[in-house]
Structure 1
Amino acid sequence: MKATVSWEPSEHDLGFVGKMDSGETLHLDGNGKDLSPMQAVLLSVGACSSVDVVEIMRKARQGLESCECELSAQRADEPPRVFTHIHAHYVVTGTNVNEKHLARAVALSTEKYCSVMLMLNQNVDIRTSYEIKP
């Protein structure tokens, strides 16, 4: 995997575009015009883990209809302002979704499969919770 991040000078002065070698792009900004790099990391935690949860629930033949990951994070007060705590709350809807299967899916993602969470877990207190809505 390869990528390039290029500065795009403008009135905001801290805009960057990231481009993967496969062509996908992501705009990031240090001044709030686009996502900040830290916002992108937080979203990546939720997206990476949600992929796992959905795949595991499908393999368990659960009637999953939707999956949202609500994220909250705290950052250190002083630079570098790293994440100190992240809470990921999964809200799933579906027909006859088994709580035991969902708990297992969240645990497997957090402890074994989500590469983004696993990269961060040495330095960040990551907690999870879940709920099933009919």
Structure 2
Amino acid sequence: MQASVKWLDGYRFIGTSDSGHAVVMDGDKQTAATPMEMVMMAAGSCASVDVVSILKKAKQKVSGVEVKLSAERADAVPAVFTKLHLHFVVSGQGVSEKHVERAVNLSAEKYCSVSIMLGKSVEVGHSFEVVEAEF
């Protein structure tokens, strides 16, 4: 796996992945997410892929998955994450809380390489809620 990050101007950079996809990052939060925000969102998207995949395999009628992320950072430089929490809001028809709990736990403990990697130095927590929705 490879990627590149190129300076654009100010504190803006463009990252390009091996697969050819690009994302802009901004250390000043003026025009794009910061690198640390990108790390937090990467954990959320990685875990969401797992949760959606597991729920689909369990034949759950899921119409939406959103993960709300919150983090705390150290007061000193480097301002690393000290805590990260992922709260999943899963909507659909008759979605089983037991299935959602299983999916979130499997992601947290076995599949999501981003949050598992962060968990080596950050306190990572997970929670969820199920919302009944119309299709």
Instruction: Name 1:18's counterpart in structure 2.
Output: 15
Instruction: Name 1:117's counterpart in structure 2.
Output: 115
Shift of residue 22, structure 1, vs aligned partner? 2.4
Q: Per-residue CA shift, 1:70-96, capped at 9, x if unaligned? A: 010000000100000011100011111
Structure-to-structure mapping, 1:1-134, within 5 angstroms: 1-9=1-9, 13-33=10-30, 34-134=32-132
Partner Cα separation in structure 2 for residue 130 and residue 104 of structure 1? 11
Partner Cα separation in structure 2 for residue 20 and residue 120 of structure 1? 20
**Identity fraction in percent:** 47
Tell me the number of residue pairs that the alignment of Structure 1 and Structure 2 aligns.
Answer: 131
Q: Where has structure 1 moved over 2 Å in runs of 4 or more?
A: none
Query: The residue matched to 2:72 in structure 1 has which SS?
Result: strand
Partner Cα separation in structure 1 for residue 103 and residue 53 of structure 2? 9
User: Normalization by structure 2: what TM-score?
Assistant: 0.94
Please give the root-mean-square deviation of Cα atoms over the aligned residues, in Å: 0.8
* Unaligned 5+ runs, structure 1: none
Partner Cα separation in structure 2 for residue 16 and residue 133 of structure 1? 38
Letter in 2 for 1:131: E
Query: The residue matched to 1:71 in structure 2 has which SS?
Result: strand
Partner Cα separation in structure 1 for residue 130 and residue 3 of structure 2? 38
